[in-house]
Structure 1
Amino acid sequence: MIIKSKLKKPSKLKNGIERTRLLEDFEGYKLGLICAPAGYGKSTAIADWAAAHENVAWFSIDSFDDNPSHFCNYFIHSIEQLPAVSCPASLEMAKQSDDADFVSVLSILFNELSGLKEPLRIILDDYHHIKNPDIHQALAFFIKHMPNHWQVVISSRTMPALSVSGLRIKQQLFELVEADLAFTEQETLDFFAASTDFATEEKKQLTLRDNVEGWPTALQLVSILSRDSASFNECAEQIGKSNHVYLWDYLDEEVFSVLSPELQNLLLHIAPLNKVDSNIINSLCSTENGHLLLEQLKEHAAFIVPVDKQQDWFTFTSFFKAFLVHKAKQCGSVKRDDKVIAELWLNHQEIAEALPHVLKCQDQDLVIALLNQAGWKLFHDGQLNSLQACFDLIKQSFWLHPELVILKVWMLQSRHQSYKVAPLINQAEKLFAKNNIVLSDQLKGEFLVIHAQIAINQGRIHDALAQAEQTLLLLPSSNTRANIVAQAVIGEAYHGLGNLELAYQYFQEVKLLANEQQMYQSEIWAVYQQTEILQAQSFHQQADQHLEEALSLIKEHHLSAMPLHAFPLHFKAQRAYQAGQFSVAEDFCKQALDVVSPYGEQWLLYTYTLQAKIVLEQGDLVRGQELIEDIERLLRNKNYHSDWIAAANYARLKYWRATEDTAAIERWLTTAPQPEHAFNHFEQCHNRNRVRALIKLGDLEQAMLIVEQNIQDAQQCSLQMEINRNLILLTSIESKLKLFGNAKIHLSQAVESSLFTGLNTCFIRESDNLKPVYQDLAKDPTLIHSVKEKLVKLLSLSGINLDDAPKNPFDSASIIKIKAHARAPRLVKNIPLTPREWQVLGYIHAGYRNHQIANCMGVAPTTVKSHIRNVYQKLGLEDRNEAVQLSEQLVTLIN
């Protein structure tokens, strides 16, 4: 007897959406295979497609149909019920006997339908119930010999045992798998729009979709259980974490319960694992049938999928894995033993899989075994937090293992906790002596190079260089890691000493060796150091190439979450800040904060420094104050490299100058760093910080001496960026001192240098002091064209119009105040200057030369000379310098 409901397509879901994209390209193919686990909407997708076509036969298969004659009977009935089909002979033959030969029936069917011109479409739903090879063989015969305008569509949870390779080669096979059936973002939004009558955030809908990997049943369950947006959010969160009883019930009924007890037991045992192969199954379950069991699981499509690029390895979808873990806990008969699992993975040298189980079982011996086996791999892969967790678990035990002491040192160094390294090494060496621990030559080399690194950390550059060079002489040739570190220390030392060419060469060697040894952090650090070296020399294009290479390596080796990533981000932020692109600079700062925040607040100093510079440049003193307070708190509590201290002090001085806090500047200046030589960018910055402080406090002569020495040191080392910065600052000081001849020469050099360095904002910050020098320089006929163009650009960026005359400080009201002031000079009170003479004195105060004054007043230069001579005679002045000093004194009386 035929159950007619098995020959009808399923009813359309009330809240379903049509996904025509799935089968829209099926036309022209003979066979369509739609294979995916339960709940992926296979039947719904086919039903939607069938609704748009005629002559569609439907056969819903169950486990009772796994019999050739039984299957044959339903198959022929599904076709015979179509209005366009008449096949009485084949139908009668299928009904007559339980022993009817399926292939023979199909042969009769072909003869009866030979005249059928219309397309015929046959859908076999839930074909995974069919195991009988006779049915597979007969169906393969049917597909092979049916007319080209006939189509068969098969839905199944597993790949049918049909021979389809010939169809695939002939491009007559159409396939859809789990990834194709998963809901897209747009389908997710459309589905919830159709299935809910309340508003929900699109972001939450798409987050749910990502969490369940587009599994339609999970989305359907959320829509059914949600009454409003609040319940939607709650349900979406639970199901997104695969933590909902209805979801578990579905997987239990549709997937788990249909498996054999043996496969159920297997799944419960392997539930804690992220991946399995037959060997793992054999070891964990004490069996020799791992391969067979795995094949059976694959046949049942129990949400098991291949692991990318790992042959013979398989994993579970996230929601099915969560269900299995829940089921294992619920059963209680299968106990999770993290130590057993950890040892299993360690024996298979699968460190990433072993690590979480090692940490959970908290067995010190197992942790030490893991660190000895793969500690350096974890380090080079950037898993510093995992390393830290391991060291936390073994507590003091690592002191008895010199190899682990070295590993911890480099972990601290990478976490920018270098201030902890020297105390740790000192304590370790004492304990080694106390416990008679003898170091191998290789380990001695490791400790030697650590001492060189400590010297670099502490700014003892010459000691670091000597120790690192001595280490290279003593190292065994096999100790590649210590060799690489020693050469990196030498590179940093030469960088600090200003020998940029030699430093670059050492870092090039470090880069090549580190790449060979897969020490990717060392390789990236070497490339970044080369970036800074090239930037200091104003080789911007090469510096950019190296910077992108460093970022590419970080991405390639999945080290984006490492503190190391912050350095190129800071570099980009600083570059954007110098170009006046403050929003871009702030974006890079935010990215850097995302990277470094998990590693402790000591990492925040440099990013806060950059942010403070940005907001102060924009005039935001409120935010600036907050950042400066954070910077000062961090400086009090932590030890930092001289580079970061120099940058932090620059930001502090910038804030104090903006807020006129001269007391803070005076206090800082008493303890400010005073490097003996400035052969690198941070020592240059230390000196310029002192210069800015002295300028604010009025000691211009001392400031000029320091900046002139800075220029000499920078020239000695070809620090082109520093030379340019110093020239701008020197010009500003000379302008303040009214040394306009020197200022003009140095400003011309600074502008020409900026053609290569690209500096702009340094000029803008000093624009008030540079304006009178710009006036002279702009009229210099000897300027080359490129310098003139850059000068015009700087004037535009600084908002300076050379045609605007300066505001004369000596207007009529100011003159009255001056004469009435008790400290006004006697000659000023007793011998009146004419308004024109006061005006000329004001222009002299502004630094204008005679021809500039003549232009502003609209008179001949000879008239200006006459006015100046009268001013000198009336006020008893010898020369222009005395006139400048007197005018400065008078201005202070009215301010």
Structure 2
Amino acid sequence: MLLPAKLSRPRQLKNVVIRQRLLDKLGDAKNYHLVLLTSPAGYGKTTMVTQWAEQLPHVGWLSLDEQDNFSERFAAYLVESVQQATDQFCQRSSVMANKRQYANLTALVSQLLVELSQWPEHLYLVLDDYHQITSNEIHDAMRFFIRNQPDNVTLVILSRMIPTLGIARLRIRERLLEIDSQQLAFTHDEAQQFFECRLPTPVAKEQSDKLCDEVAGWVTAFQLLVISSGIDAHPPLSGQGLAGISASHLNEYLVEEVINRTQPQTREFLLRCGLLRSMCHQLIEAVTGYPNSQQWLEEIERQGLFVQRLDDAGQWFCFHPLFASFLRQRCALEMAEQLPAIHQAAAQGWLDLGYPNEAIQHALSSDNSDLLITILSDYGWTLFNHSELALLNKCLASFSSEQLVAYPKLLLLRAWLAQSQHRISEAELLLVDAETLLQEHHIEINRELNAEFQALRAQVAINNGQLEAAESYARHSLDELPAHNFYARIVATSVIGEVLHCRAQLEQGLKVMQQCELMAIEHGVFHYALWSLLQQSEILIAQGLLQAAYEVQVRAFQLVETEHLQQLPMHEFLLRLRSQLLWSWGRLDESEQAARKGLDVIAHYPARQQLQCLAMLAKCDLVRGNLDNARVHLSRCENLLSGGYNHIDWIINVDKPRVIYWQMTGDRNAALQWLATTMQPDGAENHFLQGQWRNIARAQIIVGQYQEAEKTLTMLNKNAEQLGLVSDLNRNYLILNSLYWHSDQPVLAQKALIEALRLASRTGFISHFVIEGEILAQQLRQLLQLDVLGELETQRAHSVLRQIDQHDKHKVAHFDEQFVEQLLQRPDVPELVRVSPLTTREWQVLGLIYSGFSNEQIATELDVAATTIKTHIRNLYQKLGISHRREAIAQAQQFLQMMGYASESE
């Protein structure tokens, strides 16, 4: 429903003055990022650029007005202007704009620039009347456009003022071509040419020069003079009273010299048509009632009454903005009583042409609430589906709930608007308000509409974590909805699938989400199709079927690509799920890349939504042993968490790397403080709650609350086994292993680790093991020595050890020469170490013993014979006054603590 007139390059006027000096200047436009023409009204900016662009092959044109300050409307017109200039080259941007599948205007502009960079020709994009734009969001998006536009694009802006778009920066970089009012003003020669083209009687050069000086080359004044001369039949171009003509005098001049000199019928025609921002013969007949409107237009054009053709076919016209503004003011003064009726006629004319969005503008101006209600009732959902959200908000905001109570569909539409714009709490309030009003006024709604209300209630309830209410609403909705009401059925089905997922009824939830996906694809509701794929992936991960989850994600990425869903927040969710899965498999570089792409998707959303991707980056760094980097990411998370309400899932996912960081750094105080304040769920019936209890168990181990941790993990494992939460069971056994190790129960620790390895044969987990560090590495090496693992478990153990050797900065690294030198300088170092210092090799052997290496593994690591290692061990035992391996580990641990390194075995 875009107006062709706004996207058409204005038709070049007859007898136009060829202004070669400006054409030559514009001839260099290709070498600039921005061409800026600024001047007050009436200096010929549009005419000049139209003349220049006449011979250019790829020019996108957008004529702006005050209604374009709505970002959705601006986006649609901006992309369509590019599409018309590039032969529909930017398809992805077009789909995103039409379906409003972008985070904000800047995100859409970013995609548009990507596609334009691949366009093989040079594009000129003209934004006329940019001074009409007051929206900061649009200004920000255009600043982004200018900063990042490719070299094959030149932006041309026509404005009455210098826009706030970083002009000074472009000027310094010599990427700006400026043409201001002094350059646009007519010279003496151009003024002479202008008069010669328009007047039958020659004008003396002296008189022409004088008039040009009197009006400072203002071309509109020349046009007014010509019109005045043509109407009054007096001697032409009497310049009396025109010296220093200004905008403040323009209305008076137009009244005296133009309007008052027209015939009454022409006057009324002009005043009525002046209310139309653009017009065709159907609209003109609607507001004037005059037949043969095309002839009227052509006659007015012939008289030079500021009418301009907007397309080559001569179907769409508009008045010069200056004259149009004047006509609207005069119409309000002279036809005040008729004004509402004219606006109503204009609204009906636009409706007949199929432009309800334009009709609504006149309905709003008519102050006719019945008309506005009628248009909203007939076209509200159409406008909603075309993403005219700001316009609908404006319209519905003009009505109280009492006024809308007789129109239940509009009450529903108002609530859906809030939901679609992520105003969840407001949507809930509007639903309650609607229900109360309908009951108070005893208004019965049919079964289908009631079912649509229930579908929205279900969506709001699941957003708030109200599972029972969500399921009840959704099932009631499905029972009542007819088969043809596919959108509401998809919403209700999706909610039921999500409820089953949250209750860990995984098989049933998976089937429902697969059904929802098929329905959404069939009816083109692609954002719900994507949501169902995301839910399927999460369910499969919970079941331990990570490879199947990966394949579902592949389908989701294909859907994002084919349906241009890149800027939806759900795309970030998909990237985060992919990052989590890759992290589980130990593919850290790919995991980090996916998380960073997720941050790019939500870069323009509230910063709090970055929490989970930042937590993923912290987890990648923790596995690598990059504690400083992890701390930076976690600090950002903590700052964001302090900013207000956060969804419980966000908090749980951020707490996981925080607790692991405390474990790695031995920060017992932080763990204690967190345990004292953190939320303890009532149960562990799904993988969300299992994750929180796992965080609690890990913190309990850090602070030495071993009995409490064992109770927690016993409860977790019982629920996970009953519900088939295989991935959670795998994670639980790893923490159980840590508990038994720290509580000096090596046999139970070994059993827990063997079970974790067995489960990992299904899940493919790697990083969950690696993140436990050298304590787990020691146990794995012992299991490999004992040769008690099956083939798959043995392979998993070797994979984990390789990752730990690659990423973990384990203790052996501390026993180098620099470490020993600094240690021996400490006053509290044992005297025995000073008297009988260890050799460099003996220090290396001590570090490897501490890291859990067997004698044979130490020999392999140092590439020496096993008998040599035994000699080194015997010597260092003698020098340290110890007799067995456990004492050696304790002594090494003491050295590390002296140097300020936290022990992982505490």
For the aligned pair, the TM-score class normalised by the smaller chain equals 0.5 to 0.7
- Structure 1: which amino acid aligns with 2:776? L
Aligned residue for 2:435? 429
Compared CA separation, residues 460 and 205, structure 1 to 2 (3 A)? closer
- Structure 1: which amino acid aligns with 2:555? H
Aligned residue for 2:350? 345
Of 773, 776, 786, 1:767 maps to 773
Instruction: Summarize the alignment of residues 89-168 of structure 1 with structure 2, pairs less than 5 Å apart.
Output: none
CA–CA distance in 1 between the matches of 2:442 and 2:148? 61
Aligned residue for 1:592? 601
Shift of 1:548: 1.9
Compared CA separation, residues 519 and 278, structure 1 to 2 (3 A)? farther
% identical aligned pairs = 23
| RMSD of Structure 2 on Structure 1 (CA) | 6.4
Q: Which runs of 5+ in 2 are unaligned?
A: 1-14, 31-47, 58-115, 126-144, 161-166, 187-214, 232-261, 333-338, 901-906
Shift of 1:39: 1.0
Of 27, 31, 39, 2:51 maps to 39
1:223-256 Cα deviation digits (max 9, x unpaired): xx99x937999985989xx9999999599979x9
Shift of 1:425: 3.8
Residues 576 and 584, structure 1, Cα contact 8 Å, conserved in 2: no
Compared CA separation, residues 818 and 593, structure 1 to 2 (3 A)? same
- Structure 1: which amino acid aligns with 2:448? Q
Compared CA separation, residues 287 and 711, structure 1 to 2 (3 A)? farther
CA–CA distance in 2 between the matches of 1:705 and 1:807? 42
CA–CA distance in 1 between the matches of 2:185 and 2:672? 62
Shift of 1:798: 1.6
- Relative contact order higher in (CA < 8 Å, ≥ 6 apart): 2
Of 366, 374, 381, 1:376 maps to 381
Of 314, 325, 331, 1:329 maps to 325
Aligned residue for 1:411? 417
Aligned residue for 1:229? 171
Residues 551 and 565, structure 1, Cα contact 8 Å, conserved in 2: yes
Any idea what SS the aligned residue of 1:498 has?
Answer: coil
CA–CA distance in 1 between the matches of 2:311 and 2:504? 57
CA–CA distance in 1 between the matches of 2:853 and 2:533? 49
State whether structure 2 residue 289 is matched by structure 1 residue 283: no
Residues 611 and 637, structure 2, Cα contact 8 Å, conserved in 1: no
Of 469, 472, 476, 2:478 maps to 472
- Structure 2: which amino acid aligns with 1:543? V
Instruction: Summarize the alignment of residues 12-31 of structure 1 with structure 2, pairs less than 5 Å apart.
Output: 15=25
Compared CA separation, residues 419 and 212, structure 1 to 2 (3 A)? same
Aligned residue for 1:644? 650
Compared CA separation, residues 887 and 862, structure 1 to 2 (3 A)? closer
Shift of 1:404: 3.3
Instruction: Summarize the alignment of residues 688-727 of structure 1 with structure 2, pairs less than 5 Å apart.
Output: 688-700=694-706, 702-703=708-709, 706-707=712-713, 709-710=715-716, 713-714=719-720, 717=723, 719=725, 721-727=727-733
Instruction: Summarize the alignment of residues 650-669 of structure 1 with structure 2, pairs less than 5 Å apart.
Output: 650=656, 653=659, 662-669=668-675
Aligned residue for 1:546? 555
Aligned residue for 2:513? 507
CA–CA distance in 2 between the matches of 1:373 and 1:699? 66
CA–CA distance in 2 between the matches of 1:202 and 1:479? 44
Question: TM-score when scaled to structure 1?
Answer: 0.58
1:45-67 Cα deviation digits (max 9, x unpaired): 9xxxxxxxxxxxxxxxxxxxxxx
Shift of 1:692: 3.1
Q: After alignment, is 805-814 or 445-454 more displaced?
A: 805-814
CA–CA distance in 2 between the matches of 1:455 and 1:203? 43
Aligned residue for 1:794? 803
1:788-816 Cα deviation digits (max 9, x unpaired): 77446524542579998989999996999
Aligned residue for 1:196? none
Shift of 1:756: 6.9
CA–CA distance in 2 between the matches of 1:622 and 1:679? 31
Compared CA separation, residues 662 and 417, structure 1 to 2 (3 A)? farther
Q: After alignment, is 275-284 or 651-660 more displaced?
A: 651-660
CA–CA distance in 2 between the matches of 1:714 and 1:252? 85
1:846-883 Cα deviation digits (max 9, x unpaired): 5556765787897669979x989x99xx9999xx9999
- Structure 2: which amino acid aligns with 1:329? S
Any idea what SS the aligned residue of 1:394 has?
Answer: coil
Aligned residues: 681
Residues 29 and 154, structure 2, Cα contact 8 Å, conserved in 1: no
1:371-419 Cα deviation digits (max 9, x unpaired): 4334434444455444444443334446624433333333333334434
Shift of 1:428: 3.9
Aligned residue for 2:310? 304
Compared CA separation, residues 680 and 818, structure 1 to 2 (3 A)? same
- Structure 2: which amino acid aligns with 1:638? Y
Q: After alignment, is 566-575 or 500-509 more displaced?
A: 566-575
CA–CA distance in 2 between the matches of 1:806 and 1:298? 92
Compared CA separation, residues 11 and 283, structure 1 to 2 (3 A)? closer
- Structure 2: which amino acid aligns with 1:545? V
CA–CA distance in 2 between the matches of 1:448 and 1:474? 10
State whether structure 2 residue 383 is matched by structure 1 residue 441: no
CA–CA distance in 1 between the matches of 2:755 and 2:298? 77
State whether structure 2 residue 573 is matched by structure 1 residue 567: yes
Residues 271 and 331, structure 2, Cα contact 8 Å, conserved in 1: yes
State whether structure 2 residue 691 is matched by structure 1 residue 685: yes
Any idea what SS the aligned residue of 1:438 has?
Answer: coil
- Structure 2: which amino acid aligns with 1:633? S
1:617-637 Cα deviation digits (max 9, x unpaired): 673478546623442334xx4
Residues 611 and 654, structure 2, Cα contact 8 Å, conserved in 1: yes
Of 497, 502, 506, 1:491 maps to 497
Question: TM-score when scaled to structure 2?
Answer: 0.57
Compared CA separation, residues 521 and 351, structure 1 to 2 (3 A)? farther
Compared CA separation, residues 443 and 510, structure 1 to 2 (3 A)? same
State whether structure 2 residue 628 is matched by structure 1 residue 619: yes
Compared CA separation, residues 743 and 425, structure 1 to 2 (3 A)? same
CA–CA distance in 2 between the matches of 1:204 and 1:591? 16
Compared CA separation, residues 44 and 391, structure 1 to 2 (3 A)? closer
Any idea what SS the aligned residue of 2:438 has?
Answer: helix
Any idea what SS the aligned residue of 2:602 has?
Answer: helix
Q: Which runs of 5+ in 1 are unaligned?
A: 1-5, 21-35, 46-178, 189-200, 219-224, 307-311, 821-827
Residues 398 and 405, structure 1, Cα contact 8 Å, conserved in 2: no
Instruction: Summarize the alignment of residues 743-822 of structure 1 with structure 2, pairs less than 5 Å apart.
Output: 761-776=767-782, 783-784=791-792, 787=796, 790-791=799-800, 794-795=803-804, 797-799=806-808, 817=828
